[in-house]
A and B are shown apart, each in its own frame.
Chain A
């Protein structure tokens, strides 16, 4: 039991940090520009594919740097030449633009790399068990992922609080109009944030793509889970996104272990109903089956009862 709790904690931490890497950029984009970027997961996928392609030529490590930069440049271009021209048509058009973009990116990825998964593998140097705790291996690569994501969190935190551009971004998060009145180049900041956010997603793709699977549907697979993070975390709050990521990681991880269903619960009280039809299905469901859909329930309830999110400064 102890080992199970220990490893589930590590698992939830890791999954949470991966979620955070994805959602940190999205939170910035969403809070500043009001765009629900449906193509964010596509940048995650592009990060993985770029890293795979680069690793074919020069190995994993250069890819770790180059791939996110490429994705960032691509993101900036998308903002400059795509989103900005759609901006005048309003938020719905911007959002639908990103939906269409996600769609096209998937098709283009298939055209270039084919429909099957590409063999993007963990670098040999990190492919070993670092320590064995309570009988379970902790692989070096997972520790590496954890280190990269924590490093990214610290870096992001420093940029936002210590640098000039970070302060402008912070201000634009809450008062975008005020910032532009003060004479700052808000479109330029938008481009930077969109590019930077995409690069962060790309970095998550580089280190997540080989841990998971690099395939054309990986963006769609990831689905709207990142939106859950930004809603639960709250508008404009990186700390909120951080907490929400870890929380969601924990919910999903620990729910798996709870193999209790409603009928078990009723049995505790000596009730053993034998229903049929819909009720039977309902009583049969174990908490563990619901792990991956709990976040959505969480998101809907959050939006209904606390639309500010956990740490939000204003309503979504």
Chain B
């Protein structure tokens, strides 16, 4: 009885999460009214689909791809070509359904490339994806009639009729279109993980021999998973095309391929919602942090390396680590040690930011001799004083953090002990 109750509560909280997410998505643009932030939200929506589709490979099937943007970009090109055909009146497809063109185009290419490249997982797959990525990126400039050369292919979404009768001129309308597709894709990709194919992909990832013993050809499972991942990447690309009304060769290139890898990994590959967090964080960093500091690439690189070394399960992994503790109502035992760690972490963060900003100011800024300002304080980067503070902050922060981490470990040990006792 009690057990059932708990399950019911859990089910509700699960659905509640979906509903809450939907509500947030609907009301977000009312809080972010500027064109920039609405564009950023739209880009985040696209990135979420793209990152989740990537995790269908990396997280669910154990396939590390360096060329996933091939499908993102091709999806974009298919969509923009169809959009232009519709504009010319050759065929009639409502604007709302155009991203499907990207998805279906990508799934066909995905089946071919998937079959070719997934015979073996692991390094051979990674290298084939790298090679295919290079080939497509290079040929994107060789086939101007499809890729539009350097200029890319552009279109006008206003010339396409819309099923809902909305005029898709303003960013807000496109935001809701992207939100709709993102929500639909997230639900579909989530349901896919529950299907036999999704389970098989996991099995093939963990132990391909065993999977083939029970009668499933790992090659086929991987190919199907690959093609489906391509489908959703194609949808993301299609939304890109509708949003920006232009698709260029950069979308099939290495930068988006690397980006989606970083998003997914930073978010966490082990949990379904991980890539969503990663997509939000990374897109935000790329668009907003880059406005705050031109040294943002360094922060981004440090974040990525830090995640790889200390938190390979990503942000989602860190969050889910606390799920059993939360359920056992033991969070209050962890929080004091966390609170103790916040302060030194902040000091260390401050010191690192100062170190990077001052070095950057001296070396690469527009005018190194000008006084620099950081956190509202003006000072001369050339003098020794700020350097002294920086080194001091870093050392103190690092030292205190070491002690705090010890405390955190200690309280984790206690919590684990209690949980073990309770369960036994």
A and B touch in their complex, CB below 8 angstroms: yes
Chain B interface: which of A18-26, A46-54, A96-104, A160-168?
A96-104
Size bracket of the A interface:
35 or more
The answer to whether the Cβ of B403 comes within 8 Å of any Cβ in the partner chain is no
Q: For residue B64, which residues in chain A have a CB less than 8 angstroms away from its CB?
A: 92, 95
The answer to whether the Cβ of A280 comes within 8 Å of any Cβ in the partner chain is yes
Q: Is B301 a contact of A304 with CB atoms below 8 Å? A: no
On whether A299 and B308 interact (CB within 8 A), knowing A111-B364, A114-B363, A224-B134, the answer reads no
The answer to whether the Cβ of B366 comes within 8 Å of any Cβ in the partner chain is no
Q: Mark B336-370, 1 if CB is under 8 A from A, else 0.
A: 00000000000000000000000110011000000
- CB contact list, B100-145 vs A, under 8 A: 116-117, 119-120, 122-124, 126-128, 130-132, 134-135, 138-139, 142-145
Chain B interface: which of A59-67, A81-89, A125-133, A205-213?
A81-89
The answer to whether the Cβ of B304 comes within 8 Å of any Cβ in the partner chain is yes
Q: Mark A266-295, 1 if CB is under 8 A from B, else 0.
A: 000000000011101110010001001100
The answer to whether the Cβ of B418 comes within 8 Å of any Cβ in the partner chain is no
The answer to whether the Cβ of B258 comes within 8 Å of any Cβ in the partner chain is yes
- CB contact list, B201-254 vs A, under 8 A: none
Q: Is A86 a contact of B309 with CB atoms below 8 Å? A: yes
Q: For residue B360, which residues in chain A have a CB less than 8 angstroms away from its CB?
A: 111
Interface residues on chain B, number (Cβ under 8 Å): 41
A227, B131: Cα distance in complex, Å: 10
Q: Is B138 a contact of A293 with CB atoms below 8 Å? A: yes
Most B-side CB within 10 Å, residue of A99, A101, A276, A307: A99
Main secondary structure of the interface of A (DSSP, over half): helix
Q: Is A300 a contact of B128 with CB atoms below 8 Å? A: yes
- Say how far A1's CB is from chain B's closest CB, in angstroms: 28
Q: Is B359 a contact of A93 with CB atoms below 8 Å? A: no
Most B-side CB within 10 Å, residue of A228, A296, A316: A296
A220, B360: Cα distance in complex, Å: 21
- Say how far A190's CB is from chain B's closest CB, in angstroms: 17
A99, B66: Cα distance in complex, Å: 11
Q: Is A299 a contact of B131 with CB atoms below 8 Å? A: yes
Q: Is A278 a contact of B142 with CB atoms below 8 Å? A: no
Q: Is B127 a contact of A316 with CB atoms below 8 Å? A: yes
Q: For residue A134, which residues in chain B have a CB less than 8 angstroms away from its CB?
A: none
- Which of B130, B135, B142 contacts A227, CB < 8 Å? B130
On whether A300 and B145 interact (CB within 8 A), knowing A97-B309, A115-B364, the answer reads no
Q: Is B305 a contact of A300 with CB atoms below 8 Å? A: no
Q: For residue B308, which residues in chain A have a CB less than 8 angstroms away from its CB?
A: 86, 89, 93, 96-97, 100
Q: For residue B261, which residues in chain A have a CB less than 8 angstroms away from its CB?
A: 96, 99
Q: Is A316 a contact of B145 with CB atoms below 8 Å? A: no
On whether A282 and B124 interact (CB within 8 A), knowing A107-B298, A224-B130, the answer reads no
Q: For residue B309, which residues in chain A have a CB less than 8 angstroms away from its CB?
A: 82, 85-86, 97
Cβ-closest chain A residue relative to B119: A304
Cβ-closest chain B residue relative to A90: B312
On whether A316 and B132 interact (CB within 8 A), knowing A86-B308, A111-B364, A289-B142, the answer reads no
Q: Is B135 a contact of A293 with CB atoms below 8 Å? A: yes
Q: For residue A281, which residues in chain B have a CB less than 8 angstroms away from its CB?
A: 142-146
The answer to whether the Cβ of A110 comes within 8 Å of any Cβ in the partner chain is yes
A56, B415: Cα distance in complex, Å: 59
A215, B245: Cα distance in complex, Å: 35
On whether A300 and B123 interact (CB within 8 A), knowing A111-B363, A281-B144, the answer reads no
The answer to whether the Cβ of B290 comes within 8 Å of any Cβ in the partner chain is no
B contact residues vs A (CB 8 Å cutoff): 58, 64, 116-117, 119-120, 122-124, 126-128, 130-132, 134-135, 138-139, 142-146, 258, 261, 265, 297-298, 300-302, 304-305, 308-309, 312, 359-360, 363-364
Q: Which 6 A-B pairs have the closest CB atoms?
A: A100-B305, A300-B131, A89-B312, A296-B134, A293-B138, A104-B301
- A110-B364, A307-B124 given; 12 more Cβ-contact pairs under 8 Å: A91-B122, A96-B261, A96-B308, A101-B305, A103-B300, A104-B301, A111-B359, A111-B364, A280-B145, A281-B143, A315-B124, A316-B124
